[in-house]
Amino acid sequence: MLAISLVLLVACASGDPGVTASRSDRFTTAIEEPDFEESTDPTAPALDVDEGRQSSVETDGSSAPEDSIEETPVSTPVEMPLTQEEVDDLIAELTEGGFCDPDDVRDEGIVTAMHFVVQGELQSPCYVDQPNDGDDVADVVVDDDPRLIEAWDSLTAITPNELVSDVSLLAGYEPCSACNTLAFVTVLDEDSTFFLLAVDVVSGAADPDELRLTMMHELTHVFAQKPGEQLDVSVRSPNNCDTFFNGGGCFAEDSYVWAWIQEFWPSEIRDTLPADGSVGTDAEANERCDADAGYTGSYAAVHPEEDFAETFSAYVYDVEVDPALTAKLEFFDRYPEFVSIRESARALGLAGNTEANFEGCG
Ligand SMILES: [Zn+2]
C-alpha cells in the first residue's frame, strides 16, 4: 500500500556549514542505494544517512544482488491533485511507516523539524524537537523551525512545482561540531522515489546567498535522478548501462545528465572516473580542475552530476564565472523549465546579486 502512495507522491506532480567551509564540500549530497537485504518491510526507511562528505552517486552497487530487488514500475503521472483527505491519509500512512524519523538525519546534527512534502506543498511538521527531550536544539523550536521554512521558501519561490514535487520530506538540523554538511539529499525507499532533502539551518540562516545556491544544487540531485524519467533504477550494474551509470541506476537516453555528459564529459574524461558510478579522489578532481577552467571549482570536477549541480546553481543565480563555462551555462537555456527558474530569480532580484562565488578552475 505504501508503495502505491509513494508512486502517487512522485507521479501526481507531474553543503556544509558553514560559511567558513571551503566551496568544495559545501555542496554535499548523499544519494545512497537502499540496503535491500535489510529492508524486508517496504514501509521501513531503507537507509541511514551517513555522515560527512558524500557524493550524489556514492553507492555501494555491489552489495545489492540483482535478484534481491523488488522492481516497482513507475506509473504514469496522475494529473489530478490529491484532495485534503487523501493528503491526510497519505501523511498518516507515511508517518506510520516510519518515514518521519529524525534518525535518518541525526548523523549530521540535531534535527529541528521535519515536514512531508506532498505535490510540492510543504505540510505541517511531522516532527519538531521538543525542549528537554534529550538532544535539544540551541534555538528552541516548539511549533516549527522558521529557519527551515525560510530555506524551503527560498527554493520554491523560484522553482516550478514539477521540479520540486519529487521532494517528499524536508528536514532541518543544527550541525554537530564535527559535521560540515550544509545540505544533502538521500532516498529512503527501495524504489528511489522518496527523496529526503535536509539542510543545516544554522549555516543557512547565517548566509542566505549560500543557502540559495546550495538548495538549488541539491534540488538538481532530485529532479535529475527522477526514477523512470531521468534514471532507470532497475539497472544495477554499469555493464547493463549504455549511457552513464551513477551507482543508483542508468541515465535515460533523453535525461538531463546524459545530455550533459555527452557534451562536457567526453569518454577520455569519463574513463578516469570509477566504473561503479562513485566519485573519484579529490586529487583526480583537482587534476581535472587544474587542467580546465570549464568547471566552477574542484568539487564540480569530481563527478558529472556535481558539475551539473554546481553549474546549474551558478546559472540560476547569474553568479559570475569564468568565460570557459559559457557553453555549460548555455546548455540550460535549452530547457524552458530551467529558463523559467532563472527568470524568476531575476524577477525577484536574486540573480546576479549574490555574494557567493565559485573558486574556479584552470
Ligand atoms: Zn551535490
CA of 16 to the centre of ligand 1 (A): 11
**DSSP code at position 74:** P
CA of 17 to the centre of ligand 1 (A): 14
CA of 48 to the centre of ligand 1 (A): 18
CA of 28 to the centre of ligand 1 (A): 5
CA of 217 to the centre of ligand 1 (A): 6
What pLDDT does 130 receive? Answer: 81
CA of 92 to the centre of ligand 1 (A): 31
Q: Are 225 and 31 in contact (CB under 8 A)?
A: yes
pLDDT single digits (tens) 21-63:
222 333 333 333 333 333 333 333 333 333 222 333 233 333 3
What pLDDT does 136 receive? Answer: 64
CA of 15 to the centre of ligand 1 (A): 8
CA of 278 to the centre of ligand 1 (A): 12
CA of 96 to the centre of ligand 1 (A): 30
CA of 132 to the centre of ligand 1 (A): 34
Nearest to 192 by CA among 224, 145, 240, 152: 224
CA of 57 to the centre of ligand 1 (A): 9
**Regions in the chain scoring below 50 on pLDDT:** 1-78
Cα–Cα distance for residue pair 357/354, rounded to 1 Å: 8
Confidence (pTM):
0.79
CA of 74 to the centre of ligand 1 (A): 24
- Cell digits of residue 99: 518515514
CA of 263 to the centre of ligand 1 (A): 19
Instruction: From residue 234, give the alpha-carbon distance in Å to each of 68, 158, 279, 304.
Output: 12, 32, 21, 21
CA of 188 to the centre of ligand 1 (A): 17
Phi and psi angles of residue 146, each rounded to the nearest 5 degrees, phi first: -60, -25
pLDDT single digits (tens) 245-280:
999 999 999 999 999 999 999 999 999 999 999 998
- Amino acid found at 216: M
CA of 130 to the centre of ligand 1 (A): 31
